[in-house]
Amino acid sequence: MPPVIDSEKCEKCGGCVDVCPEDVYFGSRKKELPSVSYPEECSHCNACVEECPVQGAVTIRIPLPMMLLYRPEGNHSGAT
C-alpha cells in the first residue's frame, strides 16, 4: 500500500508526516518510524518522497487497480 517506508533507511525526521496533504501518516509520533495509517487515502503526489532527506527511505507504490495500461509491441493492427 502507498507509501512504503524503509525502516532501515528512515531517519525518523518526520518530514513526510509534516508535509503530506492527505495526512495519511495521521497518528505518527515524533522521532519514531512514521506509521502509514491511511494508505488508501494517498494521492500519489510524491510530496513525502520530495521531502525525504534519504533517497529511497520512502517510496510510492502504485496500487494494482491503478496500473497503467498499454499496448504491447508487435500487437499493432494499424500503422502506428
Partner 1 sequence: MENEHIKTDVLCIGGGIGGLMAAIRARELGAEVAVAEKGNIKRSGRGGGGCDHFLCYIPEVHGSDMDAYIEEMMKTQQRRNFMGLSKERLRTHIRNTYDIVKLWDSWGIPMKPRGEYYFAGHAFPGGFRTLLKYAGRHQKPILAKKAREAGAKIRNRVMIFDLVLDRDGNIGGAVGLDVRSGELVTFEAKAVILGTGYMSRLYQHITPGWMSNNAWRFSLTGDGRLMAYRAGAELMDLDFMRLHNGPRYLARFGQATWVGVYRDPDGKPIGPFVSKPEVLYGDATPEADKLIFKKYHDAGKGPCYMDGNGLSEEDHQEMIYWLEHEGNDPLLKHMAEDGIDFRKHPIEVTSYNQGCLGKVATDEEGRTTLDGLFAIGDEVGSGVSNASVYGWMCGESAVKIAKQKAFSGTFELGDESKKRVDILSKMRTRNGYGPQWREANIALQQIMSDFAGYLRSDEIMKAGLFHLRRLRKKALETMVAQNPHELVRSLEVMNLLDFGELVFISGLDRKETRDTHVRTDYAITDPRLNNKAHIIKMVDGRPVTDWRPI
Amino acid identity, residue 37? S
Peptide bond into 3 cis (omega under 30): yes
Write the burial class of residue 8 (CB in 10 Å: 0-12 exposed, 13-18 middle, 19+ buried): exposed
Quote the cell numbers at residue 52: 525525504
**Closest distance between partner 1 and the C-beta of residue 34, in Å?**
14
**Closest distance between partner 1 and the C-beta of residue 23, in Å?**
6
Examine residue 65 and tell whether it contacts partner 1 (CB under 8 A).
Answer: yes
Cβ closest to partner 1, residue 10 vs residue 19: 19
Tell me the HSE value of 78 on the side-chain side, using a 13 A CA sphere: 1
* Site for partner 1, residues 21 to 60, rule: CB under 8 A: 21-23, 26-27, 37-38, 40-47, 49-51, 60
Q: Which residues of the chain form contacts with partner 1 (CB under 8 A)?
A: 18-23, 26-27, 37-38, 40-47, 49-51, 60, 62-63, 65-73, 76-80
